[in-house]
Amino acid sequence: RWTAAGGRSREVGADSAGAFEFARVEPGTYTLSAFLDRDEDGDHDGGTLEPYTPAEPFALHVDLTVERGQGVAVTLPESRPAP
């Protein structure tokens, strides 16, 4: 999810390789959030303590400044469930 100053936001899904792109982003300052939707329900899962299940990996970039012609890449951390 790309969120611009003023609260406007856009969402995109990743392709089968996990890559995603926001096309035609105007120069400005944004917040970018992304998560790896392991259970494919469309919502971020924060995990549980009992029984333990790890949270889905999440990335947050605040005050991300985009200039004309600039691209942005985000890589989510790999996280393995506990045995």
Q: What is the pLDDT of residue 83?
A: 47
- The number of residues making up the chain comes to 83
The pTM assigned to this predicted structure is 0.65
pLDDT higher than 70, residue 78: no
Plot region of 17 (φ>0 → left; ψ -120 to 50 → alpha; else → beta): alpha
pLDDT higher than 80, residue 17: no
Going by C-beta distance under 8 Å and a sequence separation of 6 or more, which residues neighbour residue 16?
Answer: none
Greatest mean pLDDT among 12-26, 30-44, 45-59, 65-79: 45-59
Query: 77: which 2 tokens?
Result: 């951390």
pLDDT higher than 70, residue 82: no
Q: What is the pLDDT of residue 28?
A: 86
Main-chain dihedrals φ then ψ at residue 15, nearest 5 degrees: -80, -175
